[in-house]
């Protein structure tokens, strides 16, 4: 009597944080075992469970994971906090504001350089000029006009 086994299929995760980690690992140029070793996990199967959404990513490991996979730690942390601890994240945002990515911090530094002693009023004209400038640089990087 022969038995046939069903092929095993892995359902895609519904976790945005897990999906982000999976993409970060895939695009890092590193093997999963390298990343696991780099961040202090003895076995890479822990990363496999995280990337499939079978295990939550420990919040305290996000900075190391972000560094190992070359992604922005603030964005990664924001995803995890919104998903795993939405009430705590809402209090943090309400109290101290939204965490900024590295690029967002750089834009803020530029703003502070031009307005060190007083606020630059973000009138519709200033907002339009800033957006037009940023769009021009984005288009240039993307090979646009």
Tens of pLDDT, residue by residue over 71-100, are 999 899 999 999 999 999 999 999 998 888
Distance (Å, rounded) from C-alpha 67 to C-alpha 59?
14
- pTM over 0.75? The answer is no
The answer to whether position 30 is within a domain reads: yes
- Cα three-residue angle 89-25-15, rounded to 5 degrees: 40
Q: What pLDDT does residue 144 have?
A: 58
Same domain for 79 and 128, yes or no, is: no
Give the residue numbers spanning the domain of 123: 115-141
The answer to whether position 110 is within a domain reads: no
**Residue 9 — very low, low, confident or very high, per pLDDT cuts 50/70/90?**
low
Say which CATH number the domain at 84 has. 1.10.260.40
The answer to whether position 75 is within a domain reads: yes
The answer to whether position 20 is within a domain reads: yes
Question: CB-based contacts of 85: which residues, under 8 Å, 6+ apart?
Answer: 59
Same domain for 28 and 83, yes or no, is: yes
Number of domains in the chain: 2
The answer to whether position 6 is within a domain reads: no
Does the pLDDT at position 6 exceed 90? Answer: no
pLDDT one-digit tens code per residue, 11-38: 677 899 999 999 999 999 999 999 999 9
Distance (Å, rounded) from C-alpha 96 to C-alpha 91?
8
Same domain for 89 and 134, yes or no, is: no
């Amino acid at each position: 009597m022969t038995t046939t086994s069903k092929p095993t299929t892995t359902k895609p995760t519904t976790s945005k944080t897990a999906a982000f980690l999976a993409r970060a690992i895939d695009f890092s140029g590193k093997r999963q075992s390298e990343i696991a070793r780099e961040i202090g996990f003895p076995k890479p199967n822990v990363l496999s469970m995280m990337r499939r959404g079978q295990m939550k990513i420990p919040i305290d490991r996000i900075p190391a994971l972000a560094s190992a996979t070359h992604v922005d730690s603030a964005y990664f942390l924001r995803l995890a906090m919104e998903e795993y601890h939405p009430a705590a994240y809402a209090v943090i945002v309400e109290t101290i504001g939204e965490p900024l990515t590295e690029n967002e911090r750089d834009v803020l530094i530029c703003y502070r350089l031009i307005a060190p002693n007083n606020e630059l009023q973000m009138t519709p004209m200033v907002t339009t000029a800033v957006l037009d400038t940023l769009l021009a640089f984005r288009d240039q990087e993307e090979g646009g006009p």
